[in-house]
Amino acid sequence: MFSLPDVIEPSVSACSKAQSQLMRALGSRVQIGAEISDDYQTDDSGIIGKRPIAVVLAETEQDLQTALRIAAETEVPIVPRAGGSGRTGGAVPAATGIVLATLGMNRPIELDRGEGSLVVAPGARLSEIHSLVESEGWFYPPDPNSAELCCIAGNVAENAAGPRAFKYGSTRDYVLGLDVFLMGGQKLFAGRRTRKGVTGYDIVSLLVGSEGTLGVFGNVTLKLIPKPASILTMLCSFSQMSDAARAVERVVLARFSPRCIEFLDEKTVSVMREHGTSVAEGTQALLLLEFDGSEAECERQAEEVGNLCVAAGAVDVRVALLAEQRKMLWNTRKQMSHAVRKRALHKISEDVVVPRRSLLELIDEVRRLGDIYQIDTLCYGHAGDGNLHVNFLWNTDEELPRVDGAVRDLFHKTIALGGTLSGEHGIGLLKAPFLGLEQSAPLVDLQRRIKDTFDPKGILNPGKIFPSPGRPNTHGSC
Ligand SMILES: Cc1cc2nc3c(=O)[nH]c(=O)nc-3n(C[C@H](O)[C@H](O)[C@H](O)COP(=O)(O)OP(=O)(O)OC[C@H]3O[C@@H](n4cnc5c(N)ncnc54)[C@H](O)[C@@H]3O)c2cc1C
């Protein structure tokens, strides 16, 4: 059963000092008391955190600096927040304190056509970035299915990925440089604006995926690539889950590079049907594949990969050539998370990764866990990367210990298969107690020391990533 970690709470006098200093310095850009929406206590993980004493609706870099200075001086915890679509509680306050919302910082956007790069403000919505660059013939590949909800700062903080990561990689592969504001308010530029560069330590890579625990991001410089001329989407139906898993392995072994290979299990297929997607009778699993490049190249790959899937047992192969057809397939896939949510009152979506050869073993394990713990399970995800979104669904609190058992066993199995706890959602609050399952104590300790260097008082987004010192990692050894 999830409970917030033990973190140091600020004193009442520190909180009221922080509130009055923020109001004096930032005026209407600060909300306090009843003005604060309950949304700031949660994110898409569904965890309810501490109620903030103040929410700073930052509009400028000076606002970020002021908030970070006041937090440091008063020693009141501060949590950066972007679109609030995170799935592991990264933006959920574990301690009473300030929420620093960067959603309002959504300008300027500056496209450098000569360099093929884009400078975006932290609050820029990902869907807007996609539209802007594609209208200019450029392409920014990272595509979490939450593109309408999330912002670039949240993507950078989580190293977000999505279906296209199979061919193009994750956010980290596209961040050339960024402005970072440290506790106290100091501004640094890390990285570069050029396409190439190896000067000094790779601080950008450290900051990408740091889950709001090392610094607060301002403008981000992104690398763009040319927009592919054509896209072709293919839906393959399988009457056996094992055939679909085998097809993924064969496509990869044959060195094809679709931009996405998405897997959907039988229960996910029924959710798709409920949402109007026509799927062949007897389908137990689907692969949604997408190719890009020249038209001829897309068609060649689709034909050869289609044949491979049939040889692996596909019973139906459909190709979507028209933008409308593609859009419908992807809309259903993108709405999956919300559609699944309607099947039960509560759900938790894990995003474990295993080597691709172990995909079937993982899928079987999820079914086994559902049977043992008597809970509804459902899997879909980025099979090309071995990254599955394993959903556990439940309705009552009595089921919670069983859900906990299933999640714990899933993590143990993932590690035993040579996998990793998170492919793209991060560790946040939810997975912090399990970090020691995957990483050695000295490695966790090294990361704690890095955190201390950036944030010696431990007030920037406390409680995230690391197991709470007050509650040692009970799930620790494998
Ligand atoms: C329907 C749905 C589908 C999803 N699909 C995918 C998917 O396919 N792939 C994927 O990777 N993720 C997916 N996600 C998860 C989520 O959208 C991503 O983790 C996303 O990157 C979060 O961005 P956000 O702007 O909402 O950040 P938030 O949730 O607001 O914050 C996320 C983290 O970023 C930190 N942060 C926010 N702003 C800043 C800043 N200015 N500086 C430093 N740190 C900051 C926060 O403290 C927090 O730790 C999905 C979520 C939903 C709801």
Q: Nearest-CA neighbor of 96 among 23, 11, 2?
A: 11
pLDDT value at 478 more than 50: no
Of 322, 333, 344, nearest to 383 by C-alpha is 333
Neighbour-count burial of 190, counting CB atoms closer than 10 A to its CB (0-12 exposed, 13-18 middle, 19+ buried): buried
Q: What is the rounded average pLDDT of the residues 373-391?
A: 95
pLDDT in tens, 35-69: 999 999 999 999 999 999 999 999 999 999 999 99
- For residue 415, give every residue at least 6 positions away whose Cβ sits within 8 Å of its Cβ, in sequence order, or none: 421, 437, 438, 478
Q: Of 223-232, 333-342, 361-370, 414-423, where does mean pLDDT reach its minimum?
A: 333-342
Rounded to whole angstroms, the Cα distance separating 30 from 24 reads 9
Beta-carbon contacts of residue 477 (< 8 Å; ≥ 6 apart): 436, 437
3-class DSSP state of 407: helix
Asked whether the beta carbons of 76 and 98 are under 8 A apart, the reply is yes
Question: Any idea what DSSP says for residue 213?
Answer: S
**Residue 77: CB within 6 Å of ligand 1?**
no
Q: Could you give the maximum distance between any two Cα atoms of the chain, in Å?
A: 70
Among 264, 268, 307, 305, smallest CA distance to 286 is for 264
pLDDT of residue 2: 80
Q: Which of 41, 146, 159, 208 to mutate for ligand 1's pocket (most ligand atoms within 8 Å of CB)?
A: 146
Which protein residue's CA is at the shortest distance from atom 41 of ligand 1? 217
Q: What's the rounded mean pLDDT across residues 182-201?
A: 96
Query: Both ends of the chain: CA-CA distance in Å?
Result: 20
Taking 90 as the threshold, does the pLDDT of residue 335 lie above it?
no
Q: Is 180 in the pocket of ligand 1 (CB under 6 A)?
A: no
Predicted TM-score (pTM) of this structure: 0.96
- Measured in Å, residue 37 CA sits from the centre of ligand 1 at 19
Kindly give the pairing relationship between strand 187-191 and strand 376-382: unpaired
Asked if residues 383 and 351 have their Cβ atoms less than 8 Å apart, the reply is no
DSSP-derived pairing of the beta strands 216-223 and 314-320: unpaired
Measure 83 CA to ligand 1 centroid, in angstroms: 7
Ligand 1 atom, smallest distance to 212 CA: 44
Residue 384: pLDDT band with limits 50, 70, 90:
very high
Beta carbons of 255 and 384 less than 8 angstroms apart: no
Q: Cα-Cα-Cα-Cα dihedral of 398, 400, 403, 407, to 10°?
A: -160
Q: If you compute the radius of gyration of the chain from its CA atoms, what whole number of angstroms results?
A: 23
The DSSP 8-state label assigned to residue 194 in this structure reads S
Residue 381: φ, ψ to 5°: 150, -165
Contact 390/458 with Cβ under 8 angstroms?
Answer: no
- Cα(311) to centroid(ligand 1), Å: 39
- Ligand 1: centre distance to CA 456 (Å): 25
Instruction: List 387's β-bridge partners, or say none.
Output: 353, 382
Residue type, 57: L
Burial, 68: exposed, middle or buried (Cβ in 10 Å; 0-12, 13-18, 19+)?
buried
Question: Is any atom of ligand 1 closer than 6 Å to the C-beta of 162?
Answer: yes
Question: How confident is the model over 130-185, as pLDDT tens digits?
Answer: 999 999 999 999 999 999 999 999 999 999 999 999 999 999 999 999 999 999 99
Closest to 221 measured CA to CA, from 183, 178, 250: 178
210 lines ligand 1 (CB under 6 A): no
CA angle 367, 368, 370 (to 5 degrees): 65
b/e for 261-283, b at 16 or more Cβ within 10 A?
bbbbbebbbebbeeeebebbeeb
CA atoms within 13 A on the CB side of 355: 7
Segment 290-332, tens digit of pLDDT: 999 999 999 999 999 999 999 999 999 999 878 888 887 787 7
Residue 476: pLDDT band with limits 50, 70, 90: very low
Q: Is ligand 1 within 6 A of the CB of residue 337?
A: yes
Q: Average pLDDT of the chain?
A: 94
> Rounded to whole angstroms, what are the CA distances from 87 to 261, 347, 386?
22, 11, 19
Does residue 94 line the site of ligand 1, with CB under 6 A?
no
Is the predicted pLDDT of residue 33 greater than 70, yes or no?
yes
